[in-house]
């Protein structure tokens, strides 16, 4: 399958001053696949080590000398390793966290050998490590589920991808193309962005098969809970994971997870699932300036799930009939519209920056308001409102624009794209004037490029 991050990984491979690359992301997003595909594309010998499946290999890295480590590997695996023609893949490195520290020696003493490390629970290691991390001697790549454009590529819709990437706001989209992209986006909402589900859909066109895979993926994440159980009981983690899809598009309330369980354990479970990237926190920002996380409110936050397809399965939505996707209200069931936009916003972050999501809220009696997302574009804050259908009031957005005097906002909905000048008096009695950029869901991945024109 096509992954846009492969371009970044290829650039890393051919860079003059290359450092070991650590690919970070949840389980089943394609980290190992990318390393294998990179080696194949560049006709390199792949030395793949999986420390979960092969824990005995860990002792081959006892030395800090890369030459000795390669000699140990060559002897143990009975292979010849040419650093100039090989790629060393250290998979599931969270099972051998001390090897992360060894990466500095590969960077310093054997830069000619490309090294990739991957791990689905790496965030726990990075938080609790007792060894010296090779700061400045490794690169990070953050990998998310597949974007809508990548979904289209997997479905053989390359021309539609080209159309999206070349679209400009002064272009009128023909109704036929708009309807086709909308229908495909609704498919994406059901299938999701996890490679296994997309691969099944492309090969079988069976929603039943996709649904089975989605439930198996959820079971895989549950199986991982045993690795966190020393910190939080697995029951609490399971309850929170099932609660996230139910609380989409609203303030996350601990007591809604389970009113009979201590908030302390629920709070800890949420934190762990965020670290494992099974769920993502949408932090409440004051929107007073950049960076957006500088002034956040810990008591108010939202959560989205790792993937919209898994979210649909967790909510128990019926996937028996593809015609369901043509119901315009389907997108809004369980807050899926906000889920899918947040998920796609995480894919547009540069690979070396950890994705983060922000929202804005005002809890004033008689004038409360909430804007779904805030994004930073260059040095500007851009509010993003999500509306499931073609219509919907923008009362909260008008309040925010009046309070902060922002000049530009984005609305994501099911309508045709447009750019309009908004001039009105908001519910607080303040005159508001700003440009509203409205884009359909299928253009979410193009937000950064489209904003450049404004």
The pLDDT of residue 322? 35
Its sign, for the CA torsion 239, 244, 245, 247, is: positive
Question: 160 by DSSP, 3-state: which?
Answer: helix
Q: Is 344 exposed, middle or buried (0-12, 13-18, 19+ CB in 10 A)?
A: buried
Nearest 5°: phi and psi at 207? -65, -30
3-state DSSP helix/strand/coil % of the chain, to nearest 5 = 45, 20, 35
The pLDDT of residue 331? 52
75: nearest Cα among 54, 57, 93: 57
Instruction: Give, for 38, the enclosing helix (H) or strand (E).
Output: helix 31-41
Q: Tell me the two tokens of residue 24.
A: 């970070």
Q: If phi over 0 gives left and psi between -120 and 50 gives alpha, with beta otherwise, what is residue 290?
A: beta
Q: Tell me the two tokens of residue 55.
A: 């824990």
The pLDDT of residue 323? 42
**What b-and-e string marks burial along 361-396, b requiring 16 or more CB atoms within 10 Å of the CB?**
beeeeeeebbbbbbbbbeeebbbbbbbbeeeeebeb
Q: Tell me the two tokens of residue 57.
A: 């290999």
pLDDT truncated to tens, each residue of the chain (454 aa)?
899 999 999 999 999 999 999 999 999 999 999 999 999 999 999 999 999 999 999 999 999 999 999 999 999 999 999 999 999 999 999 999 899 999 999 999 999 999 999 988 887 777 766 767 777 899 999 999 999 999 999 999 999 999 999 999 999 999 999 999 999 999 999 999 999 999 999 999 999 999 999 999 999 999 988 888 888 889 999 999 999 999 999 999 999 999 888 999 999 999 999 999 999 999 999 999 999 988 888 889 999 999 999 998 877 765 443 344 455 445 556 489 999 999 999 999 999 999 999 999 998 887 899 999 999 999 999 999 999 877 678 999 999 999 999 999 999 999 999 999 999 999 999 999 999 999 999 999 999 999 998 8
Q: Where would I find the beta strands (DSSP E) of 350-406?
A: 357-362, 369-377, 380-386
149: nearest Cα among 7, 33, 281: 7
Instruction: Give, for 280, the enclosing helix (H) or strand (E).
Output: strand 279-285
The pLDDT of residue 318? 56
d(CA 261, CA 253): 13
For each of the domains in the chain, give its residue range(s) and CATH number, in order of start.
Answer: 5-142 (3.40.50.300), 149-377 (no CATH)
Query: Using the 8-state DSSP alphabet, how is residue 112 labeled?
Result: T
d(CA 405, CA 284): 19
């Amino acid at each position: 399958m096509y992954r846009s991050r492969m371009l970044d990984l290829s650039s890393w491979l051919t860079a003059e001053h290359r450092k070991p690359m650590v690919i970070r992301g949840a389980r089943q997003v394609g980290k190992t696949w990318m390393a294998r595909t990179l080696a194949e594309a560049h006709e390199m010998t792949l030395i793949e080590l999986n420390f979960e499946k092969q824990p005995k290999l860990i002792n081959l890295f006892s030395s800090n000398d890369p030459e000795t480590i390669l000699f140990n590997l060559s002897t143990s695996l009975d292979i010849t390793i040419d650093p100039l023609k090989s790629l060393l893949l250290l998979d599931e490195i969270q099972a051998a966290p001390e090897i992360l520290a060894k990466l500095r020696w590969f960077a310093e003493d054997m830069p000619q050998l490309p090294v990739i490390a991957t791990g689905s629970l790496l965030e726990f290691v990075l938080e609790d490590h007792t060894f010296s991390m090779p700061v400045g001697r490794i690169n990070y790549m953050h990998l998310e589920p597949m974007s809508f454009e990548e979904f289209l590529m997997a479905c053989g819709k390359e021309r539609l991808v080209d159309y999206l990437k070349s679209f400009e706001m002064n272009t009128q989209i023909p109704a036929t193309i708009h309807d086709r992209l909308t229908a495909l986006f609704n498919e994406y909402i059901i299938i999701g962005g996890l490679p296994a589900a997309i691969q099944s859909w492309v090969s079988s066109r069976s929603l039943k098969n996709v649904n089975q895979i989605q439930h198996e993926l959820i079971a895989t994440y549950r199986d991982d809970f045993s690795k966190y159980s020393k910190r939080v009981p697995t029951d609490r983690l399971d309850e929170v994971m099932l609660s996230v899809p139910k609380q989409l598009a609203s303030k996350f309330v601990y007591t809604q997870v389970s009113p009979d369980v201590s908030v302390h354990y629920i709070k800890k479970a949420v934190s762990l699932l965020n670290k494992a990237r099974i769920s993502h926190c949408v932090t409440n920002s004051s929107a007073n300036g950049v960076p957006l996380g500088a002034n956040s409110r810990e008591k108010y936050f939202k959560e989205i799930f790792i993937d919209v397809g898994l979210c649909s399965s967790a909510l128990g939505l019926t996937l028996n009939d593809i015609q369901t996707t043509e119901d315009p209200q389907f997108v809004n069931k369980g807050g899926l519209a906000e889920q899918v936009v947040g998920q796609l916003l995480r894919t547009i972050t540069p690979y070396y920056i950890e994705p983060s999501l922000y929202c804005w809220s005002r809890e004033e009696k008689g004038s409360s308001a909430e804007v779904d997302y805030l994004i930073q574009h260059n040095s500007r804050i851009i509010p993003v409102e999500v509306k499931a259908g073609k219509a919907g009031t923008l009362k909260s957005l008008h309040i925010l624009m009046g309070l902060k005097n922002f000049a530009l906002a984005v609305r994501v909905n099911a309508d045709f794209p447009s750019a309009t000048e908004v001039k009105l008096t908001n519910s607080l009695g303040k005159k508001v004037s700003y440009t509203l950029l409205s884009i359909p869901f299928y253009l979410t991945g193009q937000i950064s490029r489209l904003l450049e024109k404004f």
